[in-house]
Amino acid sequence: NAGVTQTPKFRILKIGQSMTLQCTQDMNHNYMYWYRQDPGMGLKLIYYSVGAGITDKGEVPNGYNVSRSTTEDFPLRLELAAPSQTSVYFCASRRSTDNYEQYFGPGTRLTVT
Amino acid sequence: TQLLEQSPQFLSIQEGENLTVYCNSSSVFSSLQWYRQEPGEGPVLLVTVVTGGEVKKLKRLTFQFGDARKDSSLHITAAQPGDTGLYLCAGAWGGSNYKLTFGKGTLLTVNP
């Protein structure tokens, strides 16, 4: 199993540009998450999904959108990139049964200039 | 949003020393997890604690969950350079065990 994969690994965007961060998991997990990690700030939850077709906002959803058309994929969309969105983005997944572990992808380092 | 305080934020020690990292909240956790993150990678789960007073050991790492389930600690005995990394605690509250709130992390450096 590949686990949780994210693409791209690095990206530089200009202010106002759009992009989609891809996340795929091959563990048949129902729950998927998007976090951002800023220096010294831990991880902040952006959006999460408890299954295909169901998404909900986390702590810091402004400026982002998500969709979950399949169990495997959970893309994160930035419509109008701003410097405040410069961060490292992590996707994670977990089973819906009583197993608390979240499995994280390797992250996408995004810079908006 | 529930708040989760983690301390210290930075810790630099010599190989062989012991250390303790703390994680606190004013609310009762339903579960708490400790993750370790290395540079350029995502966090990896070390342990999950659920029961108040619970103690779990993972080689030289000892995890304690407070009796009131509002705090937790991670103790490393005889730290080694391979223990270097960012240690994150993450808590769940109420019925939403699927949603975690992360602390800011403790960046540990173990010098040879």
Q: Which residues on chain B are in Cβ contact (under 8 Å) with A34?
A: none
User: Taking residues A16-32, what's their average pLDDT?
Assistant: 96
B103 and A106: CB-CB below 8 Å? no
Does B49 contact chain A (CB < 8 Å)?
A: no
Phi, psi of A67 (to 5 degrees): -145, 155
- In this predicted structure, the answer to whether residue B1 has a pLDDT above a threshold of 70 is no
CB contact under 8 A, A43 and B88: yes
pLDDT band at B2 (very low <50, low <70, confident <90, very high): low
- Which tokens in the block code for residue A91? 């996707």
**B57 band by pLDDT with thresholds 50, 70 and 90:** very high
Query: What pLDDT score does A39 carry?
Result: 84
Confidence check: pLDDT of A99 > 70: no
Four-residue CA torsion sign, B37, A40, A45, B47: positive
Q: Name beta bridge partners: B87.
A: B36, B106
Contact A75, A68 (CB under 8 A): no
Confidence of residue A42 (pLDDT cuts 50, 70, 90): confident
Rounded mean pLDDT, A9-14: 97
The reported pLDDT for the residue numbered A4 is: 96
Q: What's the mean pLDDT when you consider all of chain A?
A: 94
Mutation for testing the B interface, residue in A100, A101, A104, A108 having most B CBs under 10 Å: A100
Q: Looking at chain B, which residue has its C-alpha nearest residue A105?
A: B42
Q: Is the predicted pLDDT of residue A48 greater than 80, yes or no?
A: yes
A8: confidence class by pLDDT, cuts 50, 70, 90? very high
- C-alpha A45: how far from chain center: 9
Q: How confident is the model at residue B98 (pLDDT cuts 50, 70, 90)?
A: confident
State the pLDDT at residue A96.
76
